[in-house]
Amino acid sequence: MNRPAARGIRHLALRVKDLQKMRQFYVEILGYEVEWEPDARNLYLSSGTDNLALHQEEFEGGRGSLDHLGILVKAPQDVDAWAAFLKEHQIPLRQEPKTHRDGARSIYFCDPEQNLIQIIFHPPISGGI
């Protein structure tokens, strides 16, 4: 199969109940740095080689705290190549290629058990891995 290149899972997004406790844990205990805080309910952290998104929201049963996992690619055009590849294999996209406010570019789709997957070009870490 001639699939586009990927650099592995380097991004996770978690739904959290207490953003401040999670921030304290990941920053003070695990040594992550704040990369971006667009508002009081969303926080993006990095160790320098990955990206962890924390989204404060209420959730109960059914779904756990995983919002989505992200597979890193080297360049923005790789996101588009993945979109075309997935479509060729009849895998529907949940989101077409989109460039985000922070310069990242991504698509979303689901695996067979409906886990949400993001293919992402993320400027602070995509080129350095």
Q: How does pLDDT run across 80-124, given as a tens digit for each residue? A: 999 999 999 999 999 999 999 889 999 999 988 788 999 999 998
| Residue 28 is assigned to a structural domain of this protein | yes
Residue 81 has what pLDDT? 96
Report yes or no on 4 lying in a domain: no
Domain containing residue 108: CATH number: 3.10.180.10
pLDDT digits (tens, 9 = 90+) for 18-33: 899 999 989 998 899 9
Counted domains in the chain: 1
3-state SS of the chain? Answer: CCCCCCCCEEEEEEEECCHHHHHHHHHHHCCCEEEEEEECCEEEEECCCCEEEEEECCCCCCCCCEEEEEEECCCHHHHHHHHHHHHHCCCCEEEEEEECCCCCEEEEEECCCCCEEEEEECHHHHCCC
Residue 89 resides in a domain: yes
Is 25 a member of any domain?
yes
Q: Is residue 100 part of a domain?
A: yes
- Tens of pLDDT along 33-86? 999 999 999 999 999 989 999 999 877 665 668 889 999 999 999 999 999 999
1 domain residue, yes or no: no
Q: Range of 72's domain?
A: 9-58+65-126
